[in-house]
Amino acid sequence: MCLLFVGRVSADTLYVAAASDLVFCLEKLNQQFQQQYPQLQIKLATGSSGNFYAQIQQDAPFEVYLSADIRYPQKLIEQQKADANSLFVYAQGQLALWTNNPNVDVAQGLAVLSNSHIKRIAIANPDHAPYGQAARSVLVGQQLWDTLNPKLVMGENIAQTLQFIQSQHADVGFVALSLLRAPQLSTQGRYWLIPQNLYPPLKQAFVVTKRGQQNPWSYRYTQFLKSRVAQKVFADYGFVLPNSAL
């Protein structure tokens, strides 16, 4: 869900906008950070990277922006809406084909999508969701986009896309591996990891916004996200670490 926050509750508050593939990962990271700084309130909103980019362009009150696509933070920097020195690739995302339907065999890989019993295939909206753009690249590259287009159902972001599949409103779909690695989902359904050479790299980056430059917590928080402790959490959730992503 995308939420906007107006005003500051206290000096020890940080407003963070993050891509939906981070919803479970950041829950753990934020708990670790707040153990060090219990006085800090982190106000987290998750949603599609493109929607947050548009909101920050219009001076939405987010101070740290974690995108699933490095191009959005780069554009904010070009528009002088973010601190260029704070830009950092924290991870590379991975795309998976997932089902919660016991009758769907994702071990077949992309071939399963053409089976007649597959009625709905979920993807995130490629107009503003990086994982949706990656899914579209896979389907276009395999010459499946036009054929399967009538079956596609689009989520507003990758978390909503996962919910479509989890509830079996879609038979199968393209989701972020990071969501499937969450403890609450690790025992549900089955997935097939899509080869990374089938879609452009999902380089994920964060940046401190123009508004965030006035809040010292922005830099303390982003410094933590660069730490070995944080990087291990990213790895545990299926992200490729920056050293191998760049």
Q: For residue 104, which amino acid is it? A: V
Mean pLDDT computed over 31-51: 96
pLDDT digits (tens, 9 = 90+) for 223-236: 999 999 999 999 99
Nearest residue to 206 (alpha-carbon basis) of 182, 222, 188? 222
The partner residues of 192 in beta bridges, in order of sequence, read 97
Q: Coil, strand or helix: which one is 15?
A: strand
pLDDT digits (tens, 9 = 90+) for 83-108: 999 999 999 999 999 999 999 999 99
Whether 169 and 120 have beta carbons less than 8 Å apart is answered as: yes
Whole-Å CA distances, 207 to 13, 43, 65, 87: 17, 16, 5, 5
Residue 143 is encoded by which pair of tokens?
């010459």
Taking the domains of the chain in order of start, what are their residue ranges?
A: 13-92+202-245, 94-198
To the nearest 10 degrees (0 to 180), the angle between helices 228-236 and 216-225 is 60
Whether 194 and 96 have beta carbons less than 8 Å apart is answered as: yes
Domains 13-92+202-245 and 94-198 share a fold: yes
Whether 183 and 111 have beta carbons less than 8 Å apart is answered as: no
Quote the mean pLDDT of the chain: 93
145-154: b (≥16 Cβ within 10 Å) or e: eeebeebbbb
How far is 230 from 241, CA to CA, in rounded Å? 11
59 vs 8, residue with greater confidence? 59
pLDDT digits (tens, 9 = 90+) for 30-40: 999 999 999 99
Nearest residue to 83 (alpha-carbon basis) of 205, 212, 203, 204? 212
pLDDT over 60 at 61, yes or no: yes
**CATH level 3 topology of 94-198:** D-Maltodextrin-Binding Protein; domain 2 (3.40.190)
Confidence at residue 94, expressed as pLDDT on a 0 to 100 scale: 98
Residue with tokens 């009625």: 119
Mean pLDDT computed over 66-83: 98
CATH class of 13-92+202-245: alpha beta
Residue with tokens 């020890």: 12
pTM of the entire predicted model: 0.90
CB atoms within 10 A of CB 187: 6
Residue 170 is encoded by which pair of tokens?
């879609």
pLDDT over 60 at 7, yes or no: no
Whether 167 and 99 have beta carbons less than 8 Å apart is answered as: no
pLDDT digits (tens, 9 = 90+) for 183-196: 989 889 999 999 99
Residue with tokens 């528009």: 79
How far is 25 from 100, CA to CA, in rounded Å? 21
Max Cα–Cα distance, the chain, nearest Å: 57
pLDDT over 60 at 5, yes or no: no
pLDDT digits (tens, 9 = 90+) for 190-221: 999 999 999 999 999 999 999 999 999 999 99
CB atoms within 10 A of CB 219: 17
